[in-house]
Amino acid sequence: MTRKRMLQVAMIVACAVTSVPALSAQDGEPSYSLDGAWFGWATIEGLQPFPFMDIYSSDSGNPGRSGPVLCTLSTGVIPGPVGPLVSGTQSAHGNWIRVAKNKFAFTAWKILLNEAGQPVGMAKFWGSVTAKASDTFTGTVNAAFYYGQSESAFATFKGTTVSHRIMVELEAQ
């Protein structure tokens, strides 16, 4: 065998040997993005299931890895330490980050109001969601409710979520 032919064979073998681990390390599962608008239902222990809407967007310098989340939900009236608290329909604001392929963690806060509409506390929502397809995610959610500027929650809840991407529907022609 000529030196040139031996070099060609050696290069082919080297490529094959280094390609096998690279191919086996690649995951065949598709990768999904949270970017967009979502509608879902949260089921939290002790409460009736309630609807929510989320908007996830990516930070421009880190697309698909982290960004802000805007969540619109109404948990109704929560018994507070000095009277009922109303979550209203205002949005919770927070951030999300990718923690694994198709799995994301989030934290969002919203203001709680008394029955007169005055701000009297905060609610924190945090958990994780797993994208099951390009248009569906499931997850876990935790909620903690705080009165005034207290750092101790007067109520906490855990639950699950199921959400579907809000798709554009074209007008019939």
Domain borders along the chain are 36-165
Position 22 scores a pLDDT of 46
Beta-carbon contacts of residue 158 (< 8 Å; ≥ 6 apart): 44, 45, 140, 141, 142, 143
Only one residue has tokens 């890895």, namely 65
Position 8 scores a pLDDT of 60
pTM summary value: 0.77
Position 24 scores a pLDDT of 42
Position 76 scores a pLDDT of 67
Higher pLDDT: 71 or 11? It is 71
* 3-state helix vs strand vs coil in the chain, percent to 5: 15, 55, 35
- The C-alpha angle with vertex 105 and arms to 36 and 110, in degrees rounded to 5, equals 75
Classify 36-165 by CATH class: mainly beta
Average pLDDT over residues 115-137: 91
Give the pair of three-digit tokens for residue 42.
């949260």
d(CA 2, CA 16): 21
Q: How many CA atoms lie within 13 A of 130 on its CB side?
A: 7
Lowest mean pLDDT among 58-67, 72-81, 164-173: 72-81
pLDDT at 168 over 80: yes
d(CA 85, CA 145): 10
